[in-house]
Structure 1
Amino acid sequence: MNRYLKWLAIAVLASNLSACGYNEFQNKDEAIKGAWGEVVNQYQRRADLIPNLVNTVKGYASHERETLEAVTKARASATSFQITPEVLNDPEAFKKFQQVQGQLSSALSRLMVVAEKYPDLKADTSFRDLQSQLEGTENRI
C-alpha cells in the first residue's frame, strides 16, 4: 500500500508541474502575440501618416515628382501586404513583409532628404508635426 501511495504522489506531482509549464507557455505566447500586434499597429500608423506628409511636401516641392511617386508606391505596396499569423510562421512570407517595409522606410528617407532642400517646407508647422509623429512611430517600431 505504501508503495502505491508513493507512485500516486509522484504522478500527482508530475501532473501539477506539467500543467504549470503549459500555462507558462500559453502566457508567453499571448504576450508575444500582443507585442506583435503593437508592432503591426505602428506599421499601420506609419502608413496612415504618409499621405498627409506627401501632400504637405507636394505643396512646396511639386517638381520632386519622382520621389513623391516612389513614396506613394511604397506605401501602397506596404499596405497591400496583410500580416497574418500564417505570415509570421512562414519565413519566406515574413521576409517579403520585411522587404516591403524596408522599401517604405527607404522611400521615406529619400523624402526627408528632399525636404531638407526646402527651408519653407521645414518651417511649416504641419510638416514638422507630421515629421515628429513619423519619427515617434519609427522609434516605436
Structure 2
Amino acid sequence: MSVLLIVLAAVVVVVLVALVVMYNGLVKLRNRIEGAWAQIDVQLRRRYDLIPNLVETVKGYATHERETLEAVTNARAAAIDADGVEDQASAENQLSGTLKSLFAVSEAYPDLKANTNFLNLQEELAGTEGRIAYARQYYNDTVLRYNTKIKTLPSLLIATPLGFSERRYFEADGTSRGPVQVDF
C-alpha cells in the first residue's frame, strides 16, 4: 500500500511539475510577444520622428504639393493614434503608401533630390524601414510559436482555461507587401 501511495504521489508531482513548466512556457512566450511589440513601437516612433523633418524639407522645394504633404502628415497622425495590432498594421500600410507618394514627388524636383538633408532623411528612413521589417518578422515569428503552443496538446489543456488567447500577426496588406522604394 505504501508503494502505491509513493507511486501515486510521484505521478501527481510529475503532473504538477509538467503543468508549471507548460504554464511558464506560455507566460514566457506571451512576454516575448509584448517585448517584440515594444521593439516595433520603438522603430515606429523613430519613423514618426523622421517624417516631420522630411515633410518640412520637401515643403521648402515643392510648395504646390500640398495635398501629398497633408496626406503624409494625416497618415502619420493616424498611425500614432492607432491602437492594437490590426489597426496599427492598417495605419502603417497607409503611411507607407503616402511616403511612396512623397518620394515620387521628389523625382520632379532635382534640387530636392540633391539636397543633403533630404538624402540623409531618406537614408535614415530606409534604415528605419529595415529595422521595422526585422522587428515585425521577430514579432510574427513569436506570435506563430505562441499560437501554435496554445493550440496544441498538452499546452491546450492549460492555455484555454487560464485565458491564453490567440494573438494577431502584424501584417502588411496586399498592396504594400513590396518594399518602400527609396531613390538615392
State the TM-score bracket (shorter-chain normalisation): 0.7 to 0.9
The structure richer in helix per residue is 1
The one-letter amino acid paired with 1:139 is G
Secondary structure of residue in 1 paired with 2:64: coil
Secondary structure of residue in 1 paired with 2:127: helix
Structure 2 residue aligned with 1:100: 91
The one-letter amino acid paired with 1:128 is L
1:101 deviates by: 1.6
User: What is the alpha-carbon distance in structure 2 between the residues aligned to residue 33 and residue 126 of structure 1?
Assistant: 35
User: What is the alpha-carbon distance in structure 2 between the residues aligned to residue 25 and residue 119 of structure 1?
Assistant: 54
Structure 2 residue aligned with 1:3: 4
Gaps of 5+ in 1: 89-93
RMSD of the alignment, in Å?
Answer: 1.3
User: What is the alpha-carbon distance in structure 2 between the residues aligned to residue 46 and residue 20 of structure 1?
Assistant: 39
Residue 75 of structure 1 pairs with residue 66 of structure 2: no
Structure 1 residue aligned with 2:25: 24
Candidates 122, 126, 135, aligned match of 1:131 = 122
1:98 deviates by: 2.2
Gaps of 5+ in 2: 133-184
User: What is the alpha-carbon distance in structure 1 between the residues aligned to residue 21 and residue 77 of structure 2?
Assistant: 45
Structure 2 residue aligned with 1:121: 112
1:99 deviates by: 2.0
Identity %: 47
Structure 1 residue aligned with 2:51: 50
Q: Give the count of matched residue pairs.
A: 131
The one-letter amino acid paired with 2:103 is M
Query: TM-score if structure 2 supplies the norm length?
Result: 0.67
